[in-house]
């Protein structure tokens, strides 16, 4: 593998959101650009700005954020770092969780709240239209048709381009897709935790982008002498980089969004785009059991 500072995210290939909005598959997730508990400002806001600019310079053009990160801390840092946005930069955001303190997340899918959060996302990000707006969680207290229906209205008003959902089952994804065209799904998924495999398979079959959150988790698979550790050493790479390379090879609809608050770490993550696993290596990792 070449020097990690020379690797472009573009080596991960592209995926067309909605069939006509191409993004580089290896993106960046903004949740870590906040304080402890995803609450308030980060320890070093200037480093956060440098991270975002470095990611874009290294070819990242898909950035995933949410109004609840801070709240709004990540949005405002993205605007400070990157506005006015390059033509190919796609900002995806989410709404549907309310915050009342560190590590406190409560689904809130009332239509008037989702509309308010869309307007605040637009303002804080400095956008006239959000390319991908995701329902952060389905609120069990509100009919799904009302939650997505408000997003459809915002779409018709030109404030949203595409609609996505997050943390859903296959049944919920099917139900959402019957209400409106779903462009992306964002679920917890990584090499060590693959409970969302059925959702990924559905997304793949319907050309829906699958955005795995918490993509770097490797669990016990990275222990010394284990398969991930062994292959990483053979590639001259870190286990987390191989975990990203595995995700990219797993499916062409996969859009990993590793996040970090340090420039050195964002360079390390993006360098994973330059790692190509053989089919045999992919199978070894896929079949590895953490223990």
**In this structure, what token pair is assigned to residue 93?**
């955001």
Q: In the Cβ-directed half-sphere of 196, how many Cα atoms lie within 13 Å?
A: 27
Distance from C-alpha of 27 to C-alpha of 53, rounded to nearest angstrom: 13
Of 68, 63, 26, the closest CA to residue 48 belongs to 63
Is 280 strand, coil or helix?
helix
Q: Are 91 and 85 in contact (CB under 8 A)?
A: yes
The residues assigned a catalytic role are 69
Name residue, tokens 């915002």. Answer: 154
Q: Are 285 and 246 in contact (CB under 8 A)?
A: yes
- Cis peptide, bond prior to residue 109, ω within 30 of zero: no
Q: Are 140 and 106 in contact (CB under 8 A)?
A: no
DSSP 21: E
**In this structure, what token pair is assigned to residue 172?**
């919920």
Q: What are phi and psi of 29, to 5 degrees?
A: -105, 135
DSSP 275: -
Name residue, tokens 């595409």. Answer: 162
């Amino acid at each position: 593998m070449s020097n990690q500072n020379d690797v472009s995210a573009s080596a991960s290939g592209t995926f067309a959101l909605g069939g006509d909005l191409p993004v580089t598959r290896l993106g960046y997730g903004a949740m870590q650009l906040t304080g402890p508990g995803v609450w308030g400002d980060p320890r070093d806001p200037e480093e956060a700005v440098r991270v975002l600019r470095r990611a874009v310079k290294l070819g990242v053009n898909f950035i995933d954020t949410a109004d609840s990160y801070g709240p709004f801390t990540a949005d405002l840092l993205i605007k400070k770092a990157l506005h006015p946005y390059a033509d190919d930069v796609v900002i995806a955001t989410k709404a549907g969780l309310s915050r009342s303190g560190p590590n406190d997340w409560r689904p809130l899918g009332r239509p008037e709240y989702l509309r308010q959060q869309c307007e605040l996302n637009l303002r804080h990000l400095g956008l006239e239209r959000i390319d991908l707006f995701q329902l952060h969680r389905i609120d069990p207290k509100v009919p799904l048709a009302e939650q997505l229906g408000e997003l459809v209205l915002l779409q018709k008003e030109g404030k949203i381009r595409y609609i996505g959902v997050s943390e859903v089952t296959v049944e919920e994804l099917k139900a959402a897709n019957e209400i409106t065209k779903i462009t992306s799904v964002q679920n917890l998924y990584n090499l060590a935790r693959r409970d969302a495999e059925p959702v990924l398979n559905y997304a793949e079959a319907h050309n829906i982008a699958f955005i795995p959150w918490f993509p770097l988790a490797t669990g016990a698979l990275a222990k010394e002498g284990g398969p991930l550790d062994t292959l990483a050493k053979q590639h001259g790479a870190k286990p987390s980089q191989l975990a990203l390379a595995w995700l990219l090879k797993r499916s062409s609809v996969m859009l990993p969004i590793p996040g970090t608050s340090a420039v050195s770490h964002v360079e390390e993550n993006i360098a994973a785009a330059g790692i190509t696993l053989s089919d045999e290596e992919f199978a070894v990792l896929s079949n590895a059991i953490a223990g």
